[in-house]
């Protein structure tokens, strides 16, 4: 499979996943023009669109793409039905699109109906998991979001996290402010600062790296709990996550 990353808006990414059997899948097309330009440039004809959630910066290009490519099938959770989804997906669904196979996981938190799609090694997780961070909680609860991240964290180390925004550097700056003594976070922040200064993307990232630099995947760690003043026997890890998310919201 071949992965193509398409920049959109200020910091969004739209994804194309294609293979040698002429199957091309579009993930979260917030706008149509950059997608159509990439398809023409690569001489690709898309077969399907996957939507992770209903926000316009992930769905805004669907109508124009379907007009341009009438054979497109649009998959998404129930909350995207009025954004163009034709085939509604839910927890545990298995999708076969050409020779590309996906499993669907419900990951509520950012929105209540948010889903993620996994086709080894690629994880399309929308606005749930970011490099060194996670999405804001708009509709769900901290507890829901924490358990959603735990689902994604259970995937193999080699998983390539294809999230929808270039937030890595700001997330690392926050992580460094919480754990300034962490060499891995500091070193990776310096690498990403150089990468972004050169106009390069930091995404996709790998899950094995995220386990080390993403504080939202480390809420079970005693050192982090102590840093937050939350290392008490009665604490639950989702409450540690809730504290971190609140701190990030106000960072």
Tens digits of residue pLDDT in 108-165: 999 999 999 999 999 999 999 999 999 999 999 999 999 999 999 999 999 999 999 9
Catalytic residue among 28, 54, 57, 114: 57
Starting at the edge strand found earlier in the chain, the sheet holding 205-206 runs 94-97, 100-106, 115-119, 122-126, 160-163, 205-206
DSSP 8-state class, residue 155: S
Catalytic residue among 54, 58, 114, 176: 58
C-alpha 164/C-alpha 128 separation (Å) is 9
Asked if the model's pLDDT at residue 234 lies above 90, the reply is: no
Give tens-digit pLDDT for 65-97.
999 999 999 999 999 999 999 999 999 999 999
* Residue 58 designated active-site: yes
Q: How confident is the model at residue 62 (pLDDT cuts 50, 70, 90)?
A: very high
pLDDT at 20: 84
User: Which is nearest to 76 in space by CA: 96, 59, 60?
Assistant: 59
The contacts of residue 250 (CB under 8 Å, 6+ apart) are none
Catalytic residue among 2, 11, 54, 55: 55
* Residue 53 designated active-site: yes
**Count of Cβ atoms closer than 10 Å to residue 80 Cβ:** 28
User: Do residues 119 and 151 touch, judged by C-beta distance below 8 A?
Assistant: no
**Counting beta carbons within 10 angstroms of the beta carbon of residue 160, is it exposed (0 to 12), middle (13 to 18) or buried (19 or more)?**
middle
Q: Which residue has the tokens 């995937």?
A: 155
Give tens-digit pLDDT for 181-220.
999 999 999 999 999 999 999 999 999 999 999 999 999 9
The contacts of residue 41 (CB under 8 Å, 6+ apart) are none
pLDDT at 73: 98
Percent of the chain with pLDDT strictly greater than 90: 97
Asked if the model's pLDDT at residue 27 lies above 90, the reply is: yes
* Residue 101 designated active-site: no
Q: DSSP E strands: which ranges in the chain?
A: 2-8, 12-18, 24-27, 48-50, 73-76, 87-88, 94-97, 100-106, 115-119, 122-126, 129-130, 133-134, 160-163, 205-206
Catalytic residue among 28, 54, 114, 165: 165
């Amino acid at each position: 499979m071949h992965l193509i990353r398409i920049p959109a808006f200020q910091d969004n990414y739209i994804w194309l996943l294609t293979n040698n059997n002429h199957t091309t899948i579009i993930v979260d097309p917030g706008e149509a023009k950059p997608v159509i330009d990439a398809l023409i440039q690569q001489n690709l004809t898309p077969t399907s669109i996957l939507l992770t959630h209903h926000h316009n910066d992930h769905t805004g290009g669907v109508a124009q793409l379907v007009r341009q490519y009438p054979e497109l099938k649009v998959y998404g959770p129930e909350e995207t039905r009025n954004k163009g989804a034709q085939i509604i997906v839910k927890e545990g669904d298995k999708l076969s699109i050409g020779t590309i196979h996906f499993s669907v996981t419900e990951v509520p938190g950012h929105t209540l109906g948010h889903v993620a799609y996994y086709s080894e090694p690629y994880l399309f997780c929308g606005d749930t998991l970011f490099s060194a961070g996670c999405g804001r909680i708009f509709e769900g609860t901290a507890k829901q979001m924490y358990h959603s991240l735990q689902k994604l964290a259970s995937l193999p180390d080699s998983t390539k996290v294809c999230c929808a925004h270039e937030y890595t550097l700001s997330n690392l700056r926050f992580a460094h402010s919480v754990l300034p003594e962490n060499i891995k976070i500091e070193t990776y922040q310096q690498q990403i600062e150089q990468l972004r200064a050169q106009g390069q993307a930091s995404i996709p990232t790998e899950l094995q790296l995220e386990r080390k630099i993403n504080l939202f995947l480390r809420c079970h760690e005693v050192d982090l709990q102590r840093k937050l003043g939350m290392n008490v026997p009665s604490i639950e890890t989702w409450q540690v996550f809730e504290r971190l998310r609140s701190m990030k919201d106000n960072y």
